[in-house]
Amino acid sequence: HPAYGAVTLALMTGCAPDALVLVADPRRRRIEQYSTPTLSYNESISLHERILATMKPAPVAGIALNTHGLSDDDARAEIERGRDETGLPCDDLVRFGADAFYAAIRDRIVKTAPLTAAAPP
């Protein structure tokens, strides 16, 4: 979100995650109250992974969609689109439960070490 970029960056770097879950609303085409268009799933994944790559690599393990307001059929179609576009597990955890999603991502969550600067000579 453009208004909270500094906060988001501080959270991302401060918590030093081992993996990320991208959360998205498939109906949203613009960021609320801004004319900024939302990124594609792959663009968003690339951006988040690149931000953390120089500190502590954290790959996106899956996508959690907020399909509130969509029919079950439309929600399933959006979930399938997310899977097809990214090759990652994708689901709506509130609507369809978290068990299958967690089973799909659990092996993708691997402990990563922070990158450290070389010791001075």
How many Å apart are CA 75 and CA 91, to the nearest integer?
Answer: 9
Determine the pLDDT at residue 26: 96
The topology under which CATH files domain 2-108 is Rossmann fold (3.40.50)
Residue keyed to tokens 């792959």: 42
Q: Where are the domains of the chain?
A: 2-108
71 near 26, Cβ under 8 Å?
A: no
What digits encode the pLDDT tens for the residues 57-92?
Answer: 999 999 999 999 999 999 999 999 999 999 999 999
Tokens for 42, please give them: 């792959």
- The DSSP element (H or E) to which 60 belongs, if any, is strand 60-65
pTM of the prediction?
0.88
Give the residue among 97, 79, 99 at the shortest CA–CA distance from 89: 79
